[in-house]
Amino acid sequence: MGRRVDRLCGLLFSAFGLGLVACGGAGPEASGAAPTRVTPPKRDGADPAKVVEIKEPAPAVDAEAPPVRKDGTIYAESELMGTRFSINLWLDPGRDAADGGAAVREAIAEVDRIEGLASEWIAESELSRFNAAAGGEPIALSPDLFAILQRSTVIAEATSGAFDPTFFAIGDLWSFKPGATPPTQEAIDARLPLVDWRGIELDAAGRGRLRDVGMKVGLGAIAKGYAVDRASALLRGRGFTNHIVEGGGDTFVSGSKGERAWMVGIQRPDGPGTIGALSLENRALVTSGGYQRYFEHDGKRYAHIIDPRTGWPLDEADSAISVSIVADDATDADAYCTAVAVMGPERGMAFVESQPALEAVIIERSGEISLSSGLRERFVPAPPGR
Ligand code: ADP
Ligand code: MG
């Protein structure tokens, strides 16, 4: 006992915390005519972020309520958005496990709902309809898609276009499966003029359009963070303020675990274990690294983040091995994480230092770990040999 599978989104409640590790998922591969719903492939390699605290299995409770572990938490996970989402909910004393389980189920359904509207890989998603209407009249947008697009334009401007969701006009020319080859420079050049976040036009009536025919938005660097934030907001709305929601390396830490702060570890890029941990409360931590998904061509490795100025993926030689961003919410942390990766370690860290709401942990190619000034007191390095 101790494990229970729920039909909704393959939700799995578990008394065993060992699985409380993000299993990263990059955007799915583009595949010609879009099928109804593509299940994005998982990345190879290490998981980007890991919640470190969980150890003890606990006896299962009853058939209706999910198992509660000895440390007072309920844990559940589900495959969504091409990756694994997990929720770790601390049950305040006196709260009913069945209520906690119901809230977790709703939170997972919320992630599923966001995926259904904001995925560029689902042919009938609202985002796909928005993309298909590019160059035409503005269309009415749901509050969620409007909010994601609006935040995207703010972050694109703040990062001088290092994060730019309109990269997707070119992004969908690229496949990052092992053995893939780059598109031709001509094909990239032909689409480069379509990459311009200023072409995302939103109006006060909640409508939006893409300025030019052929423009396309991909939300792979922000929708997962938004979904994490929505799931966390839902749990708070049900009175469960103390929890961690995590999806493929995007984590939001809400409240605390009773008397203690939640600790979130940062995955080693080169193997199992963590480089260290941060205690966080009401903050997001998002980790992204090229080591998770890339292909090699002519002796070069290309990771799945694209430099919107060139239309080419980041060159491994001058990018960080991994970037982690701490921000007020996972939506911001997710998008800024990609932007800082595009900027490269040096410019990226300088940018983070210029933004009071952001902190960063950057692992450079040399193995050197750089911390932004606001983290130096809060980062707890893992003991050597771990
Ligand atoms: P992860 O999938 O590990 O969370 P990121 O958050 O960095 O990684 O997002 C990478 C994804 O973002 C890519 O798979 C792609 O969908 C999208 N993307 C790639 N380059 C950019 C960019 N310059 N701006 C915005 N989105 C991008
Ligand atoms: Mg991300």
Pairwise CA distance, residues 23 & 43, whole Å: 8
Ligand 2 centroid to 40 CA: how many Å? 14
CATH fold of the domain at 126-210: T-fold (1.10.3980)
What values do phi and psi take at 375, rounded to 5? -105, -10
Tell me what pLDDT residue 250 has: 97
* Any ligand 1 atom below 6 A from CB of 24: yes
Ligand 1 centroid to 220 CA: how many Å? 5
| Closest ligand (CA of 83) | 1
pTM: 0.88
Cβ neighbours, 10 Å, residue 134:
19
Atom number of ligand 1 nearest to Cα 162: 23
* Any ligand 1 atom below 6 A from CB of 222: no
| Residue boundaries of the structural domains of the chain | 3-117+223-279, 126-210, 284-381
**Half-sphere exposure (CA, 13 Å, Cβ side) for 181?**
4
* Any ligand 1 atom below 6 A from CB of 314: no
- What is the edge-to-edge ordering of all strands in the sheet holding 262-267? 49-51, 262-267, 274-280, 379-381
What values do phi and psi take at 363, rounded to 5? -100, 115
* Any ligand 1 atom below 6 A from CB of 338: yes
Whether the CB-CB separation of 34 and 128 falls below 8 Å is answered with yes
Per-residue pLDDT of the chain (386 residues; tens, 9 = 90+): 345 555 455 788 887 653 332 222 333 332 222 222 223 333 333 333 333 343 344 444 444 789 999 999 999 999 999 999 999 999 998 899 999 999 999 999 999 999 999 999 999 999 999 999 999 999 999 999 999 999 999 999 999 999 999 999 999 899 888 788 899 999 999 999 999 999 999 999 999 999 999 999 999 999 999 999 999 999 999 999 999 999 999 999 999 998 999 999 998 887 788 999 999 999 999 998 755 567 777 787 777 899 999 999 988 888 999 999 999 999 999 999 999 999 999 999 999 999 999 999 999 989 999 999 999 989 999 987 65
Question: For domain 284-381, which architecture applies?
Answer: Roll (3.10)
Pairwise CA distance, residues 221 & 285, whole Å: 14
Contacts with 207 (C-beta within 8 Å, 6 or more apart), sequence order: 138, 139, 140, 141
Tell me what pLDDT residue 56 has: 42
Measured CA angle at 71 (ends 65, 72), to 5 deg: 35
* Any ligand 1 atom below 6 A from CB of 283: no
